[in-house]
Structure 1
Amino acid sequence: MNSDSTPQPQQPLYSVFSPRMKQFLVVMTVFGTFFSPFSSSIYFPAITPIATEYSRSVNDINLSVTTYQIMQAIAPLFFGDLSDQIGRRPVYMLGFAIYLAANIGLAEQHSYAALMVLRAMQSTGCSATVAMGNAVIADFTTSAERGGFISAVQASIMFAPALATTVGGILSQFLGWRSTFWCMAIAAGVFLLVYIPFVPETARNIVGDGSIAPPVLNASLMSEYRGWKARHDQTNPQQVPERKKMPRKLPIPNLLAAVLIMFEKDIGPLMLLMSLLVMANYAVMVPIQDVIRRQYDFNDLQVGLCYIPFSVGSVVGSVVMGKLLNWNYARVARSIGMSPDRKRGDDLRKFPIERARLDLVWPSLFVAVGAIIAWGWVVVSGVNLAAPLVVLFLVGVASTGPFSILTTLLVDLYPMNPGRVSSTFNLTRATFSAAGTAVVQYMIDAWGYGYTYLFLGMLVLAASPSVLIVRKWGPRWREERFQRLGGPGA
Structure 2
Amino acid sequence: MAPSVDAADDVGRESVDGISASGEKNTASDGFQDTGLAGGDTTRLAPPTRTSPGGGGAAKDEHSYPGGINEESGLANQEPESHTLTNTPAAAYSTFSSGTKILLVLMTVFATFFSPFSSFVYLPAITPIAESYHRSVSDINLSVTLYQVMQAVAPLFFGDLSDQLGRRPVYMLTFAIYIGANIGLALQNSYAALLVLRALQSTGSSATVAIGSAVMADCTTSAERGGYITAVQASIMFAPALAPVLGGILTQYLGWRSTFWFLTIAAGVFLVVYLPLVPESARKIVGDGSVRPPAINMSLMTASHLRRLEREDPEAATTHRRQQEAALTKQRALSGKTSKIPIPDVFAAVRIMFEKDVGPLMIFMSLFVMANYAMLVPLQDVIRRRYSFNDLQVGLCYIPFAIGSVVGSVGVGRLMNWNYARVARSIGVSADRKRGDDMRKFPIERARLDIMWPWTILAISMIIAWGWVVDAHDVSLAAPLVVLFFAGFGLSGPVSILTTLLVDLYPMNPGRVSSTFNLTRAALSAVGTAVVQYIIDAWGYGWTYVFMGLVVLAASPSVLVVRRWGPQWREERHQRFEQESAKRAAKFEAR
Partner of 2:411: 320
Partner of 1:303: 394
Partner of 1:142: 221
Q: Once the two structures are superposed, what CA deviation does each residue of 1:379-434 show, in whole Å capped at 9, x if it has no partner?
A: 24241211111111111111000000111110111112111100100110111122
The residue correspondences of 1:115-126 to structure 2 (distance < 5 A) are: 115-126=194-205
Q: Once the two structures are superposed, what CA deviation does each residue of 1:10-37 show, in whole Å capped at 9, x if it has no partner?
A: 4667653111111111111111111111
Partner of 2:241: 162
Q: Please report how far the alpha carbon of residue 190 of structure 1 lies from its aligned counterpart in structure 2 after TM superposition.
A: 0.6
Distance in structure 1 (CA, Å) of the matches to 2:14 and 2:421: 26
Q: Please report how far the alpha carbon of residue 125 of structure 1 lies from its aligned counterpart in structure 2 after TM superposition.
A: 0.5
Q: Please report how far the alpha carbon of residue 220 of structure 1 lies from its aligned counterpart in structure 2 after TM superposition.
A: 1.1
Partner of 1:277: 368
Partner of 1:212: 291
Distance in structure 2 (CA, Å) of the matches to 1:229 and 1:327: 32
**Which of 129, 140, 144 is residue 208 of structure 2 equivalent to?**
129
Verify: 1:378 aligned to 2:469, yes or no.
yes
**Alignment check: 8 A CA contact 2:94 2:219 kept:** no
Verify: 1:16 aligned to 2:95, yes or no.
yes
Distance in structure 1 (CA, Å) of the matches to 2:122 and 2:96: 38
Partner of 2:565: 473
Distance in structure 1 (CA, Å) of the matches to 2:507 and 2:481: 39
2:433 is paired with a residue of what secondary structure? coil
1:350 is paired with a residue of what secondary structure? coil
Distance in structure 2 (CA, Å) of the matches to 1:343 and 1:251: 31
Change (3 A) 1:162 1:279: same
Change (3 A) 1:229 1:401: closer
Distance in structure 1 (CA, Å) of the matches to 2:119 and 2:357: 30
Between Structure 1 and Structure 2, which shows a larger proportion of helix residues? Answer: 1
Change (3 A) 1:80 1:230: closer
**Alignment check: 8 A CA contact 1:365 1:398 kept:** yes
Partner of 1:419: 511
Q: Please report how far the alpha carbon of residue 229 of structure 1 lies from its aligned counterpart in structure 2 after TM superposition.
A: 10
Structure 1 residues 370-379 or 427-436, which shifts more? 370-379
The residue correspondences of 1:86-485 to structure 2 (distance < 5 A) are: 86-224=165-303, 249-382=340-473, 383-485=475-577
Change (3 A) 1:6 1:273: closer
Structure 1 residues 131-140 or 428-437, which shifts more? 428-437
Q: Which runs of 5+ in 1 are unaligned?
A: none
1:84 is paired with a residue of what secondary structure? helix
Partner of 2:19: none
Distance in structure 2 (CA, Å) of the matches to 1:283 and 1:47: 19
Verify: 1:37 aligned to 2:44, yes or no.
no
Q: Please report how far the alpha carbon of residue 377 of structure 1 lies from its aligned counterpart in structure 2 after TM superposition.
A: 2.3
Q: Which amino acid aligns with 1:453?
A: Y
Distance in structure 1 (CA, Å) of the matches to 2:183 and 2:237: 26
Q: Which amino acid aligns with 2:499?
A: T
**Alignment check: 8 A CA contact 2:408 2:492 kept:** yes
Distance in structure 2 (CA, Å) of the matches to 1:159 and 1:442: 27
2:440 is paired with a residue of what secondary structure? helix
Change (3 A) 1:477 1:14: closer
| Number of residue equivalences | 487
1:202 is paired with a residue of what secondary structure? coil
**Alignment check: 8 A CA contact 2:7 2:345 kept:** no
Change (3 A) 1:342 1:148: same
Distance in structure 2 (CA, Å) of the matches to 1:10 and 1:341: 13
1:348 is paired with a residue of what secondary structure? coil
Q: Please report how far the alpha carbon of residue 456 of structure 1 lies from its aligned counterpart in structure 2 after TM superposition.
A: 1.6
**Alignment check: 8 A CA contact 1:80 1:423 kept:** yes
Distance in structure 2 (CA, Å) of the matches to 1:269 and 1:3: 22
Q: Which has the larger radius of gyration?
A: 2
Distance in structure 2 (CA, Å) of the matches to 1:331 and 1:402: 19
**Alignment check: 8 A CA contact 2:402 2:485 kept:** yes
Q: Please report how far the alpha carbon of residue 6 of structure 1 lies from its aligned counterpart in structure 2 after TM superposition.
A: 5.2
Structure 1 residues 101-110 or 21-30, which shifts more? 101-110
**Alignment check: 8 A CA contact 1:83 1:419 kept:** yes
Q: Please report how far the alpha carbon of residue 334 of structure 1 lies from its aligned counterpart in structure 2 after TM superposition.
A: 0.7
Structure 1 residues 249-258 or 325-334, which shifts more? 249-258
Change (3 A) 1:156 1:488: farther
Q: Please report how far the alpha carbon of residue 159 of structure 1 lies from its aligned counterpart in structure 2 after TM superposition.
A: 1.1
Distance in structure 2 (CA, Å) of the matches to 1:381 and 1:60: 32
Change (3 A) 1:227 1:328: closer
**Alignment check: 8 A CA contact 1:481 1:488 kept:** no
Distance in structure 2 (CA, Å) of the matches to 1:480 and 1:174: 60
Q: Once the two structures are superposed, what CA deviation does each residue of 1:69-107 show, in whole Å capped at 9, x if it has no partner?
A: 111111111111111111111001100110111111122
Q: Once the two structures are superposed, what CA deviation does each residue of 1:242-266 show, in whole Å capped at 9, x if it has no partner?
A: 8999997321111111000001111
Structure 1 residues 193-202 or 364-373, which shifts more? 364-373
**Alignment check: 8 A CA contact 1:373 1:450 kept:** yes
TM-score, scaled relative to structure 1: 0.93
**Alignment check: 8 A CA contact 1:169 1:305 kept:** no
Structure 1 residues 242-251 or 189-198, which shifts more? 242-251
Distance in structure 2 (CA, Å) of the matches to 1:436 and 1:204: 37
TM-score, scaled relative to structure 2: 0.77
**Alignment check: 8 A CA contact 1:376 1:450 kept:** yes
Quote the sequence identity (%). Answer: 70
Q: Which amino acid aligns with 1:75?
A: A
Distance in structure 2 (CA, Å) of the matches to 1:297 and 1:225: 57
Distance in structure 1 (CA, Å) of the matches to 2:261 and 2:543: 39
Distance in structure 2 (CA, Å) of the matches to 1:124 and 1:84: 18
Structure 1 residues 348-357 or 178-187, which shifts more? 178-187
Distance in structure 2 (CA, Å) of the matches to 1:38 and 1:271: 23
Change (3 A) 1:271 1:319: same
**Alignment check: 8 A CA contact 1:201 1:214 kept:** yes
Q: Which amino acid aligns with 1:7?
A: E
Structure 1 residues 8-17 or 290-299, which shifts more? 8-17
Verify: 1:28 aligned to 2:100, yes or no.
no
Q: Which amino acid aligns with 2:251?
A: S
Distance in structure 1 (CA, Å) of the matches to 2:581 and 2:179: 34
Q: Which amino acid aligns with 2:222?
A: S
